[in-house]
């Protein structure tokens, strides 16, 4: 006999089965800077980034210019805009550094832009360890190198794939002074860091802190091990 207690659902909202076209439930926005084989810099918004230790995994359309650049030159700066940079991010939406623009993208309103930094009124500055530039205005710049390429849905040919999960090892972290912890030299203060969030194609900021967190009783240094 089952020992699971059935909840009293009369007071809860009921679930309904639906078939959404997209599943973007709210993630932080990144601007990925990369270079092509000739050295030309590209910059593109991305919201499929997750982190584990000092690795970032980025979900990317392999045929975007950023996808091509990651496959060929294998370096990237993950620039994290705050809510204050939302207009710059929005100016890069519906643009691509890939010429010619694919028919599918053109139909959706995408256009080719060679100078993405100029288009967004953002400034480029040299990175220390990798070739793509950092974005001056973004409070966080993460210099990174490709350490793994995974074809989403299986397959072993990243060049011919539609979607890739790209593993990036973070090799240097730059942050604006304004988001640093006043008490710990190596930390970011989550009260000061206001990431830009995208949810179902629209931009949001974070609300206030929801409640105290048991996980935060662990000292951040513990994760270094
Ligand atoms: C807020 C936002 C989030 C996006 N997230 C992703 C993403 O996670 N992965 C992806 O492949 N494209 C994403 N895109 C679309 C790319 O930016 C778009 O394909 C763009 O044309 C790529 O530029 P590129 O061809 O110059 O690399 C996003 C666009 C916006 C505006």
pLDDT, tens only, 168-221: 999 999 999 999 999 999 999 999 999 999 999 999 999 999 999 999 999 999
Tell me, using a 6 A CB cutoff, whether residue 33 lines ligand 1: no
Q: Which residues pair with 57 in a beta bridge?
A: 50, 167
Among 25, 27, 36, 45, name the best residue to mutate to test ligand 1's pocket (greatest count of ligand atoms within 8 A of Cβ): 45
pLDDT at 9 over 80: no
- Angle at the Cα of 139 (from 219 to 22), degrees rounded to 5? 90
Q: What percent of the chain has pLDDT over 70?
A: 99
Tokens of 86: 């939302």
Any ligand 1 atom below 6 A from CB of 73: no
Ligand 1 atom closest to Cα of residue 69: 27
Report pLDDT digits (tens) over 114-124: 999 999 999 99
Domains annotated on the chain, with CATH: 26-206 (2.30.110.10)
- pLDDT average, residue stretch 26-34: 98
| Ligand 1 pocket check for 141: Cβ under 6 Å | no
Read off the pLDDT of residues 131-140 as tens digits, 9 standing for 90 and up: 999 999 999 9
With a 6 Å cutoff on the Cβ, whether 65 touches ligand 1 is yes
Q: Is 198 in the pocket of ligand 1 (CB under 6 A)?
A: yes
More confident residue, 129 or 12: 129
Query: Phi first, then psi: what are they for 58, rounded to 5°?
Result: -115, 130
The verdict on the CB of residue 35 being under 6 Å from ligand 1 is no
User: For residue 72, what are the contacts with CB-CB under 8 A and spacing of at least 6?
Assistant: 36, 37
């Amino acid at each position: 006999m089952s020992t699971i207690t059935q909840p009293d659902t009369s007071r809860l909202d009921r679930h309904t089965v639906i078939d959404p076209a997209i599943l973007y439930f709210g993630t932080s926005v990144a601007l990925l800077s990369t270079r092509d084989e000739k050295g030309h810099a590209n910059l593109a918004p991305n919201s499929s980034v997750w982190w584990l230790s000092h690795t970032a995994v980025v979900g990317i359309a392999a045929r975007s210019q950023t996808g091509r650049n990651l496959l060929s030159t294998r370096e990237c700066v993950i620039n994290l805009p705050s809510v204050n940079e939302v207009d710059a991010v929005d100016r890069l939406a519906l643009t691509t550094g890939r010429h010619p623009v694919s028919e599918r993208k053109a139909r959706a309103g995408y256009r080719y832009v060679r100078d993405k930094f100029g288009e967004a009124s953002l400034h480029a500055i040299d990175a220390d360890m990798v070739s793509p530039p950092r974005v001056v205005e973004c409070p966080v710049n993460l210099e990174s190198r490709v350490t793994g390429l995974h074809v989403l849905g299986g397959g072993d040919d990243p060049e011919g794939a539609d979607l890739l999960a790209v593993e990036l090892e973070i090799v240097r972290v730059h942050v604006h002074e304004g988001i640093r912890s006043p008490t710990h030299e190596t930390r970011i203060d989550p009260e000061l860091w206001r990431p830009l969030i995208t949810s179902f194609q629209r931009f949001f900021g974070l609300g206030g802190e929801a409640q105290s967190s048991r996980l935060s009783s662990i000292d951040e240094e513990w994760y270094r091990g």
